[in-house]
Amino acid sequence: METNPSHTSLVAVGDSFTEGMSDLLPDGSYRGWADLLAARMAARNPGFRYANLAVRGKLIGQIVEEQVEVAAAMQADVVTLVGGLNDTLRPKCDMGRVRGLLEEAVERLAPSCKQLVLMRSPGRQGPVLERFRPRMEQLFACVDELASRHGALVVDLYGAPSLADPRMWDVDRLHLTAEGHRRVAEAVWQTLGYEPEDPEWRTPLPPSLPPGWLNRRAEDIRFAHRHLLPWIARRLTGRSSGDGLPAKRPELLPYETG
C-alpha cells in the first residue's frame, strides 16, 4: 500500500452497495461511498476519471458476466469489486459456485489495474445476519485468500463496530444510510494509503435509549410490508430490483467535483 498515493482513475464494480443505495440525493438518484471516494480522489488529481458499473440486485454471476470484462478493458488505476453477498442471502446458495465466480472476477481484474480493492461487507446487528452469518464468513474467507494471492487490498467493514449499529442502516435494513456510506468511503480512502480525514470512522455511535416494545413492533410491521414482502416476492418470481436498469456511470469519464 502506498502512502499518499496519486490515482488518476477509479472503476467500481458490484451491486446496490456500490451503486449507493440508500444514500438518496434530492433528485432521486443515489450517491454512495464510491461517488464520495471518487470526489475525494478527483479533488487531488485534475482530470480524474470515474466509472461506476454497479447495479442493484446483481448476483456474482451477473457481475462477472456484465461488469468484469467492461471494467478490465478500462485499465483504471483502481478497481473496487464487491459482490457475492446477494447470493448468500438467497434461500438456496451454492457457495462453491460463488467462490469460483469471485475467483474468476479477481483473476480477470487484478492484472488490468494498478490496485484491486476487495471488501468484507458490513453486517447489521439482528436476527437476519445471524441466520446468514456462516455463508457471509465463508465469502469473506474467500475474499481474504484471493486478496493475498493476487495482491489486492481488503477493506474490513464487517469488523467495524460502527457499521454494525442499526442506526447506520436505512429502514429497509439492507442498505447503509448516508452516514454509513461516508464511513465506507473513509475506510477505502485510508486503505488506499491516503491520509485519514476521519481517523475514528470505526468508532461506534454514542449509546441511545432503545425504542420501546410498541415502537419496535410498529417498525417491524412497516419493514415487513414495505420491504420484506416485496423482497420475498421478487425471490419467488425470479425477479431482481435491478432488472432493466443501466449502470449509473457506464463510461470512464472525467469526474466533476463541483
**pTM for this prediction:** 0.87
Q: Residue 1 domain-assigned?
A: no
Residue 119 inside a domain? The answer is: yes
**What does the pLDDT read at residue 208?**
67
Question: How many folded domains does the chain comprise?
Answer: 1
pLDDT of residue 244: 74
Residue 225 in domain: yes
Please report whether residue 49 resides in a domain.
yes
Q: Is residue 3 part of a domain?
A: no
Expressed as residue numbers, the domain containing 240 is 9-204+212-254
* Residue 101, in any domain of the structure: yes
For position 131, which CATH number holds?
3.40.50.1110
Residue by residue, pLDDT tens for the chain (258 residues) are 566 688 999 999 999 999 999 898 999 899 999 999 999 999 999 999 999 999 999 999 999 999 999 999 999 999 999 999 999 988 889 999 999 999 999 999 999 999 999 999 998 776 666 778 899 999 999 999 999 999 999 999 999 999 999 899 987 778 999 999 999 999 999 999 999 999 999 998 887 666 665 565 656 556 555 645 555 555 555 555 656 789 999 999 999 865
User: Other CB atoms closer than 10 Å to residue 83's CB: what's the count?
Assistant: 30
Identify whether 83 is part of a domain. Answer: yes
Residue 56 inside a domain? The answer is yes
